[in-house]
Structure 1
Amino acid sequence: MNEPYSPTTPRPISTSSPNIMKIFMCFLTVLIIAQTIGTVLYSLYLQMKLDKLEQELSLQEDYLFLRRLQKCQKPEGAGASLLDCKEIIKRFQDLLVKDAEVSKDSATFEMQKDDRHQPISAHLVGLKNSTKPVSVLHWQETGYAPRSNLISYTGGKLKVNEAGRYYIYSQVSFCTTPAPGAPYTVFIYLNLPSEFDRLLLKGQDTHSTSSAYCALQSTHLGGVFELRQGDMVFVNVTDSTKVNYDPGNTYFGMFKLY
């Protein structure tokens, strides 16, 4: 008798193994992350401890050095001690010199920083230094109008140490007589050592017709100019012997716009 064929029923696939594998991988990932964070935190803690220990050692060395220096300063202790007092005192003197140099550099830096915040300007008043005619008028500083360190003065000329756009001005007061002649002229020049001086401003005033011995007049000039580092400007007149140097009458200055 033939029996009917019945295929074997397949076993159900177990799904527990993949789930266990996923859980294990998640646990392993969390463990690695936790270990990495712990290592970083421990490294930071160790670095902080080392810095603190180094600071304490440094303070201890400074304390020992000061104690040795104190012993060397005592006459009775210098001879009886095994310390090299000459070397210790020399080290102390070197430290004092270095500290003085650092303080000087710091003061210089602070002064330069303050100069950068101060307006770049100069205002000078007339200075009569000769009874003979001169080709360049001379000036002097005043206490109420200090000159910036970025503008220097020498031989009647103002020199800019920082390039930029400057307003340059001058007023010259002078005495004239009723005698006819050419007009009294005031010039402001840009000094160019390698070529002829360049005329920047020019002002003229005719002679007075007054019968007075000295008729006081004045000419004022002013203008904006682009100057390079190292450029110098000066003032000249047709006859410097007629300039009036009374306070407030004759002056020369400049200031940086930007």
Structure 2
Amino acid sequence: MDSGEPYSSTAPRPAGSTVTMKAFLGLITAFVIAQLIGTALLGLYLYMKVDKLGDEITLQDDFVFLRRLQKCRKPQDADATLLDCAKILGSFQDLLQVQTNKVPLESLPAKQTGDKRQAASIHLAGLKDSKRVLQWNKAVYAPMDDVFSYQDGKLKVAKGGRYYIYSQVAFCAKPELHVPFSLYVYLHLPSESDRLLLKGVGTHGPSDDLCGLQSIHLGRAAELQEGHVIFVNVTDSSRVNYDHGNTYFGMFELS
């Protein structure tokens, strides 16, 4: 008997079955995620454990090496042991060489580089004399390197380079003289006329003292060649004051 309604071959799925399936899939997904997280944490733990174990093994190896080295360093122990002390000591020397090569050259003390050299210098004190070219004596506790040689008031350099030249002359500035006092530093060239490097001029002072002591100080850098000669002269050497520390002359090598 036909009721007039279409026939369906599939019956509707119960709602409870769908909820159960979703819950099961969610549980499976959570379990997989937990497994992945647990595997990752386990891997990290094993990696850290292996790394720590490697450090312990390295420390143990270092300790064993040091013990062997200590035995080989003692003659009485080296004779009684079966260790190859020549090989152990050679390895230790190689290790020291490698570590030394890693140290930057600029961090080593100057005495270890072998290339550090003290700059040459000389300092002379005024010596009373009637000559116009001032005469000098080696100052107390002052350096005088082999780069320089002194004769008759003149300094000769045996090594070309850049030098700083300086001089100070103390003099009596009597008001009644009315004559300027001048200081000159010259470069003496055998085949040419002397070249003026420095010049200073002092005038008479208002002091009522018998001397009216004043001073002129000069200094400059100059490029000198081997054999060049430097000397100092003044307009009136009788006015020069030679008391300790007042009049001096010197030079030093610039790096």
1:151 aligns with 2:148: yes
SS at match of 1:119: coil
Residue 124 (structure 1) aligned with residue 121 (structure 2): no
Q: Say yes or no: does 1:238 pair with 2:235.
A: yes
Cα offset, 1:147, TM superposition: 0.1
Distance change in 2, residues 1:143/1:178 (3 Å)? closer
Distance 1:203 1:197, change over 3 A: same
Q: CA deviation at 1:142?
A: 2.5
SS in 1 for 2:206: coil
Once the 2 structures are TM-superposed, how far is the Cα of residue 247 of structure 1 from its aligned partner?
A: 0.6
Q: Can you list the C-alpha shifts for 1:46-67, whole angstroms capped at 9, x where unaligned?
A: xxxxxxxxxxxxxxxxxxxxxx
Match of 1:140 in 2: 137
- State the 4+ residue runs in structure 1 displaced beyond 4 angstroms: none
How many residues matched? 141
Pairing 1:78-227 to 2, within 5 Å after superposition:
117-128=117-128, 130=129, 132=130, 134-227=131-224
Q: Structure 2 unaligned runs (5+)?
A: 1-113
Distance 1:146 1:195 in 2: 31
Q: Give the distance between the partners of 2:119 and 2:140, measured in 1 at CA.
A: 16
SS in 1 for 2:204: coil
What corresponds to 1:255 in structure 2?
Answer: 252
Deviation at residue 180 of structure 1 after TM alignment: 4.5
* Equivalent position amino acid for 1:122 in 2: I
Q: Write out per-residue CA displacement over residues 113-166 of structure 1, whole angstroms, 9 at most, x where no aligned residue.
A: x9x9332110000011x3x3x221000002411200011111101111000000
Tell me the amino acid that sits aligned with residue 157 of structure 2. Answer: V
TM-score (norm 2): 0.53
Cα distance, 1:182 vs structure 2: 2.9
Q: Which deviations, in whole Å up to 9, do the C-alpha atoms of 1:53-94 show, x marking residues without a partner? A: xxxxxxxxxxxxxxxxxxxxxxxxxxxxxxxxxxxxxxxxxx
Higher mean C-alpha displacement, 134-143 vs 217-226: 134-143
Task: Judge conservation of contact 2:119–2:254 (CA < 8 Å) in 1.
Answer: no
CA distance in 2, matches of 1:189, 1:204: 15
Post-superposition Cα deviations, 1:193-244, rounded to whole Å, max 9, x if no partner, equal: 1121100000011111222211000000000000000000000001001100
Q: Which amino acid aligns with 1:255?
A: F
Contact 2:157 2:226 in 1 (8 A): yes
Looking at structure 2, the residues matched to 165 and 117 of structure 1 have their Cα atoms a distance apart, in angstroms, of 15
The residue type equivalent to 1:136 in the other structure is V
Aligned equivalents of 1:118, 1:154: Cα separation in 2: 24
Q: Secondary structure at the match of 2:213?
A: strand
Q: How far apart in 2 are the matches of 1:149 and 1:229?
A: 13
Aligned-partner residue type, residue 241 of structure 1? S
CA distance in 2, matches of 1:146, 1:245: 20
For the pair shown, which has the larger CA radius of gyration, 1 or 2?
2
Q: Secondary structure at the match of 2:241?
A: coil
Q: Is the 8 A contact 1:118 1:148 kept in 2?
A: no
**Percent identity over paired residues:** 56
- For residues 117 and 162 of structure 2, the distance between their equivalents in structure 1, rounded to whole angstroms, comes to 17
Q: For the residues of structure 1 that align with 2:186 and 2:144, how far apart are their CA atoms?
A: 20
